[in-house]
Chain A
Amino acid sequence: MSVAERIREKLNAALSPETLEVKDESHLHAGHAGARPGGESHFRLRVVAAAFEGKTRVARQRLVNAALKDELAGPVHALAMATLTPSEAAAE
Chain B
Amino acid sequence: MNANAAHDAIKAKVDANDVMLFMKGTPQFPQCGFSAAVVQILDYLGVEFGSENVLADDAIRQGVKEFSDWPTIPQLYVKGEFVGGCDIIKEMFEKGELRPFLEEKGVALATA
Contact = CB atoms under 8 A, between A and B. Distances in A.
Q: Do A and B come together as binding partners?
A: yes
Interface of A: 29, 32-33, 57-58, 61-62, 65, 69, 72-73, 78-82
A3 B61 CA distance: 24
B87 A72 contact: no
A58 B88 CA distance: 8
A33 B87 contact: no
Given A33-B31, A58-B82, A80 B87 contact: yes
Interface in B77-95: 82-88, 91-92
A72 B71 contact: yes
Contacts of B70: 62, 65
B86 A80 contact: yes
Contact of B91 (A57, A65, A69): A57
The B contact surface, by secondary structure, is: mixed
A81 B82 contact: no
B84 A58 contact: yes
B58 to A, nearest CB: 13
Contacts of A65: 70-72
B34 A80 contact: yes
A78 B84 contact: no
Given A58-B82, A65-B71, A81 B87 contact: yes
Given A61-B84, A65-B71, 8 more contacts: A29-B33, A33-B31, A58-B82, A61-B87, A62-B69, A78-B34, A79-B72, A82-B87
